[in-house]
Structure 1
Amino acid sequence: MNKIYRLVWNKYLALWTVVSEIARGTTKKRNVSVSASAVLSPLLNANSGYTKSKLPPVMLAALITSIFYSSNSFAGYEAGGGSTYTNCTGTSTGSGTKSGNSVAIGTRACAGGNGNLAMGYQADSSNAPDNIAFGSNAKTGNVLSPTPDGTPLNGGGQIAIGKNAQTTTAGAIAIGNDAKTGGQNFSVAIGGYAEASGNSAVAFGRRTVASGFGGVAVGANASSSGSDSTAVGSNATASMQAATALGNQALASGRGSTAVGFGANAVSVGSVAVGVNSYAAGRVKNGEDWESGAFGSNSKADGAGAVALGNYSQALADETTATGNGSKATANYATALGTLAEATAEEAVSIGHQAKAQSLSDIAIGSDATTAVGTGGHNIAMGNKVTTGATGQNVAIGSDSTTANSRTANGGAVAIGRAQTATGDGAVAIGDPNVVNGDGAIALGKDNTAAGDSAGATAANGAVALGNSNQAIGQGSVALGNTSTAAAAGAIAFGDTAAAKGGQSVSIGSNTQAVQGGDIAIGAGAYAAAKVVNGVPESAAAFGLGARADGATALAVGNNAQATADYAGALGNAAEATALEASAVGNRAQATKDYSTAVGTNATASGLQSTALGNRSRATGDFAIAQGNNTEASGQFATSVGNFSKATAESAIAVGDLANASANDATAIGTRAAASGQNSNAIGIDSKATGNAAVALGAGAAASADNALATGVGARAAAASAVALGDSANAQATRGVALGSGATATNADDVALGAGSVTGAANPTANGTVGGVTYNYAGTTPSSVVSVGSSGNERQITNVAAGRVSESSTDAINGSQLYSTQQALGNLAESTANHLGGGSVVNPDGTVTAPSYDINGTTVSNVGDALSELDKGWN
């Protein structure tokens, strides 16, 4: 329902006013089609602002002319006209028209064309038809101009409303004091001092200027000077072809550029600036125009293809992108995405709040992620508060101040995880959090340090820490596991709470410790602590569960093995070497005195310089030696060799299985040999020397009294100083000697010579009677006997040297001596027989036959009887 069609008189304004159909007036003069107040009042107000739309000239003309054109309108009306100004000529102060259907109202107003309206002092709607000039000195032009297709226009359809408003071409509209149009056709200027000088240009607002073809300027002091340009906003300027400036003081000075927002500035071809004080300036690159774009308050895009998106964002070099409030991309090809993100080097990329990529081709992703300014470039920082250093090509990924920095420009450090720090060429820190400082140093896991000190302030090349809370301190050090420490150069610690504290030390296993330089501890609970000699550690080594090597060059090998003195060595489970240069080899072997050696399971060497070799062997005396299973050498200087052998006294020697030397200086050699007397010797299987200084030599030999000697299988020397030499020889009495197999000396001091010889009791012989003659002998009280045979087994004694032959001689006489005696006796017998005559002869048995004398017929047989007969005289 049309609400603007009724004309009423406004007595306060002293003019006719168009009002709604339901409005009421004080009087009703007449019914006409339209009047102007409601429509024209906003158009005449140059300071009323502007709108986004434009009223077509035809509509404006229809609205304004409808004030006077209706079924009751008149033609050629001259309000206050005079005869001297009819047809707009003469000097009259009235109004004038030149044709019908035109209206002129005002002093010297002129409506010269058909259907024209001129209203106001010296208003002039020219001779072209359908023009409107409304206002003091408002004027429309007579210029004929062609349409775009070349068809001439008659200059009609113009509207000039306002003091000094002017139009010059067909279809032009100028509304506002001093508003002007120019160009060819259809330009529109609305607002005080507005000027639309371009063909089809639109200037809307106080002092707006639209000077380009098809240009649009909307807003106080707006300027559109480029063809098809648009400037909307107070002091907005679009100065190049197809430029668009929207906003107070917006400036679009590049061809096809766009500036939107207060103070927005688009200064190059195709550039776009959107936002308060935004700035976009592209570049000519490789002979081509490159656009730029700035979007956001105070954003700035200054470079070929630069894009800034966000309040205070800046893209300040070729092909840069800055997205986010306060973001900056200041070098060619840089990209910054995120609030306050910065990419300040070529090809750098920063993504995230306050992320900074500051070297060539760097990438920073995450809140506060930062790559430092440096010479290396190609760094990557990804995560919250992650940074890379100024040198090398580094990678930092994670959160909470993770940092990666190379030592040289050609290096590259890597830090991945929370609060990581990697410093050095090839340094790597991965986990939560770790500290790495050194070329090639590596830390993987949680709370690890691979550096020259525990704080990570100094470098250690090649240090490696893997696991949880490990420390690799020193060049080439390695710590793996949980809370392990490699505390010096070249140290290695593997395991749970392993510690390698000295240079080149090795600690492998749970709770292991290698204390001094070069120490080695391998096995859970293993401990190695070398002694420092002249400032130089003499390395110790412990291998095995609970093994302990505590001393200069100490060595412990085996579970719970203990080498706890200088130069000690323990090899075997629970082996113990606890004294200087002691050695224990074997499970539970023990060497507990200086220079002692125990080799074998449960072997024990507890005497000074003692040696125990064999399972359960024991050398408990100083300088003792026990060799064999279950052997024992318990006396000082004792030696026991053989299974179950024993040398239990000082300097005792037992050699052989079950051999036993139980007295000082005793020697038992042979299986089950036993020497129980001091200085005794038992040599041979089952031999026994039980007397002091006794000697039993041979299998089963027995010397059972002091100084006894039994030599031979089964030989027996059972009395003091007895000697039995030969298999089964038996010396049963003191100082008896049995020499020969089976020889027996049964009485003290007897001598049995030869196999089977047996001595008997001595037979004292004081004299002897031969041929009725009694001879007294020397050596009549023998104390013992010498036997060279036995009853029925007598034997000759040969090769006997001649003995003394005297009354007192007790020497043995040989055969030659007896022969000479027999020869003498034979000669004597023969001589005697010869001298006796009487047929006396020597018998073969050596006897002399009695002579036979016939004396006086008496036969006598001896010299005495013969003499007696002779005394009787001759017959």
Structure 2
Amino acid sequence: MAVGSDAEAVANAIALGHDAKATGSQSISIGTGNQVSGDGSGAVGDPTTITGAGSYSLGNDNTIDADDAGVFGNDNVLAGTATGSRIIGNDNDVDVADAFVMGNGADVTVAEGMALGNGSIADTGAGEAGYNPTTSSTDGLDAGIAATQSTTGAVAVGDDGAGIYRQITGVAAGTEDSDAVNVAQLKASETHYYSVNDGGTQGGNYANDGASGLNAIAAGVDASASADGAMAFGFGAAAGNADSVALGTDSVTAAPVGTADTTIRGTTYTFAGTAPVGTVSVGDAGSERTVTNVAAGRVSATSTDAINGSQLFATNQAIEDISTTAGTGWDLTAEGTDGTNVAPGDTVDLSSSDGNLVIAKNATEGTQEDVTFALASDIAVDSVTTGNSVLDTSGLSVDDGSGNVTSVTNDGLTVAGGPSVTASGGIDANDQVISNVG
């Protein structure tokens, strides 16, 4: 059916308007100058041209060469390669399949892309890897992140190249891993009880790239953990040794060094924990720190606990008590009198003034150092008493227990109550009988 001057319609087609043409099977052309040659297509408005099959246009000055496409608006073009694409708006030109445009002057350059809003450009296609916060790159390798790679064209709400940006408002909180999240969800996921104040000046580790070692952790401005398993906490803290920890501003770790034992006065003492795998540093050379509020560590032959100051104080007190006792020395007396203090380090010399005693000390290395006392083989004394006998400088006298003394002197022999033979008195029998004279 054709209605209008110069209108033309084939069988089962409709053309309404001046110079309206509906030459496609079952096509519709309503409006001045519309040219619809695609089968099953339709145009409302003028003048519009449709050559694609199954396509429709509602508006003026549109051109559709694509099959199964549609336009609502004016001055739009859908090229023959834009099969299945749709446009709502004005002044749009699309030549890719299955695209969707809503807005004026927008464009979709990738299949299945979607441009929403005036000037929006959808130019990101399928197969794009998303940003991986673990590696700080778009590698799409994190198994813990769902949908790490796009499978169809992107949705654009602006144009980064032209500086066109839009907020998406009224977004409900996402549920699934691949859902969009809203600001309320981001606020709820904000890290609590953790704060780094850089004073407005961005420093190293701002992009969370300070932990370059495997399984390492770096927290703080300019903090770095470059070795595997290392941890650095604080401004400028640097953990460059594996499995080591740097705590505090500008703290730096060092290579672990094992200490197996120590020797004191010839005795070797072995230690526990002689093979450290890392170090914990709270400072650096010239920038040392005290470690306070340390609980008392266990003290045993196998303990590897830290020791605090109070434990060292107790040890020092015990040593001081021993030192005080040892420092008093000892007293040397002679038969309980004339005591003299012998202080540590003093020398006591034992000697015999008259030569009657022989004093000796065993000084052989590694043996007990005994002092021995013995009589000299030749002694000189003023008097010797044994029982009732007395030998002195005047001679020998023997008491019979009843007061009768027999003596031998340099003058001679005198027998108590008996004879005597002396140089001064000669032989005196003292009225005693001399018998058995030969």
TM-score range, shorter chain: 0.5 to 0.7
The CA distance in 2 between the partners of 1:495 and 1:315, in whole Å, is: 63
CA-to-aligned-CA distance 1:393-442 (integer Å, 9 cap, x gap): 99xxxxxxxxxxxxxx9832434544368xxxxxxx9958xxxxxxx999
Determine the structure 2 residue equivalent to 1:269. Answer: 12
Does residue 593 (structure 1) correspond to residue 153 (structure 2)? The answer is: no
Higher strand fraction (1 or 2): 1
Query: Where do residues 290-309 of structure 1 align in structure 2 (5 Å cutoff)?
Result: 290=26, 292-309=27-44
Alpha-carbon distance between aligned partners in 1 of 2:208 and 2:333, rounded to the nearest angstrom = 70
Match of 2:223 among 522, 525, 528: 528
Cα shift readout 1:189-222 (whole Å, capped 9, x = no counterpart) = xxxxxxxxxxxxxxxxxxxxxxxxxxxxxxxxxx
Question: Per the alignment, do residues 873 and 294 of structure 1 end up closer, same or farther by CA in structure 2, a change over 3 Å counting?
Answer: closer
Mapped pair 1:358 → 2:50: no
Question: Do the aligned partners of 2:3 and 2:17 also contact (CA within 8 Å) in 1?
Answer: no
Report if the CA contact (8 A) 1:540-1:549 is conserved.
no
**Alignment of structure 1 residues 682-721 onto 2, 5 Å:** 686-689=321-324, 701-703=325-327, 716-717=328-329
Shift of the 430–868 alpha-carbon distance from structure 1 to 2, 3 Å rule, reads farther
Pick one of 425, 428, 431 that aligns with 1:868. Answer: 428
Q: What SS does the corresponding residue of 1:318 show, helix, strand or coil?
A: coil
Indicate the structure (1 or 2) with the bigger Cα radius of gyration. 1
Which consecutive residues of structure 2, in runs of 5 or more, have no partner in the other structure? 129-148, 169-176, 257-277, 298-305, 344-349, 358-370, 391-395, 408-415
Is contact 1:420–1:430 with CA below 8 Å preserved after alignment? no
User: Quick one: structure 1 residues 737 and 296, their matched pair in 2 at CA, closer, same or farther if it must change by over 3 Å?
Assistant: farther
**CA drift at 1:335:** 0.8
* AA matched with 1:562: T
Q: How does 1:10-409 map to 2 (within 5 A)?
A: 243-247=1-5, 250=6, 259=7, 265-275=8-18, 277-283=19-25, 290=26, 292-344=27-79, 345-372=82-109, 377-389=111-123, 391-392=125-126
Offset, 1:272: 1.3
Could you give the per-residue CA deviations for residues 121-149 of structure 1, whole angstroms, max 9, x where no partner exists? xxxxxxxxxxxxxxxxxxxxxxxxxxxxx
Q: CA deviation at 1:338?
A: 1.1
For each residue in 1:748-802, what CA deviation from the matched residue of structure 2 results, as whole angstroms up to 9, or x when unmatched? 669xxxxxxxxxxx9x999xxxxxxxxxx5479xxxxxxxxxxxxxxxxxx9875
How far the C-alpha of 1:444 sits from its partner, in A, is 8.1
Which residue does the alignment assign to 1:814?
none
Q: 1:542 aligns with which of 229, 232, 246?
A: 232
The letter of the residue matching 1:593 is A
1:436-464 deviations in Å (ceiling 9; x for gaps): xxxx9999899xxxxxxxxxxxxxxxxxx
Q: Which runs of 5+ in 1 are unaligned?
A: 1-242, 251-258, 260-264, 284-289, 395-408, 422-428, 433-439, 447-465, 469-479, 483-493, 502-506, 532-536, 570-580, 585-589, 604-612, 616-626, 632-641, 646-655, 660-670, 675-685, 690-700, 704-715, 718-730, 751-761, 767-776, 781-798, 810-817, 827-831, 834-839, 852-858
Q: CA, structure 1 residues 500+271, in 2 after alignment: closer, same or farther (shift >3 Å)?
A: farther
Identity of paired residues, percent? 16
**1: CA distance, partners of 2:432 / 2:2:** 213
2:105 aligns to what SS in structure 1? coil
1:320 is displaced (CA, Å) by: 0.8
Report if the CA contact (8 A) 2:419-2:428 is conserved.
no
Aligned partner of 1:183 in structure 2 is: none
Distance, in Å, in 2 between the alignment partners of 1:390 and 1:420 is: 12
Distance 1:379 1:765 in 2: 120
| Bigger RCO of structures 1 and 2 (CA < 8 A, at least 6 apart) | 2
Residues in 1 aligned to 2:373 and 2:50: alpha-carbon distance in whole angstroms: 139
Match of 2:240 in 1: 552
Rounded to whole Å, the distance in 1 between the matches of 2:155 and 2:126 is 13
Tell me the alpha carbon deviations over residues 228-270 of structure 1, each in whole angstroms, 9 at most, x when there is no partner.
Answer: xxxxxxxxxxxxxxx44422xx0xxxxxxxx2xxxxx334433
1:562 counterpart residue number: 249
Structure 1 residue 870: Cα displacement? 7.0
CA deviation after TM superposition for structure 1 residue 307, in Å: 1.0
Residues 837-857 of structure 1 show CA distances to partners (whole Å, capped at 9, x for unaligned) of xxx9955x9x97559xxxxxx
1:816-864 alpha-carbon deviations (Å, 9 max, x no partner): xx9xx969x79xxxxx99xxxxxx9955x9x97559xxxxxxx943524
> What secondary structure does 1:688 align onto?
helix
C-alpha change, 1:520 and 1:417, in structure 2 (3 Å) is: farther
Could you tell me whether the CA contact under 8 Å between 1:521 and 1:541 is conserved in 2?
A: yes
Helix, strand or coil at the partner of 1:687: helix
Correspondent of 2:339 among 740, 746, 768: 746
One-letter amino acid of the counterpart of residue 600, structure 1: V
* Structure 1 residue 379 displacement after superposition: 3.2
Determine helix, strand or coil for the equivalent of 2:60. Answer: coil
CA contact (8 A) 1:512 1:527 kept: no
Aligned 8 A contact 1:520 1:542 in 2: yes
Query: How far 1:807 moved relative to its partner?
Result: 2.3
Q: How far is 1:381 from its partner? A: 2.6
Tell me: CA distance 1:312–1:278, structure 2 relative to 1, closer, same or farther (3 Å). Answer: same
Supply the distance in 2 between the matched residues of 1:528 and 1:413 (Cα, whole angstroms).
Answer: 40
Q: How many residues align?
A: 323
Instruction: Give a deviation string over 1:320-358, Cα, whole Å, max 9, x none.
Output: 101222223322221111112234433221111123443
TM-score normalised per structure 2: 0.53
RMSD: 5.9
User: What amino acid is the match of 1:807?
Assistant: I
Q: Deviations over 1:282-302 (max 9, x none)?
A: 22xxxxxx2x22233432211
Cα drift, residue 528 of structure 1: 0.9
> Residue by residue, what CA displacement relative to the aligned partner does 1:453-505 show, whole Å, maximum 9, x if unpaired?
xxxxxxxxxxxxx989xxxxxxxxxxx989xxxxxxxxxxx99989796xxxx
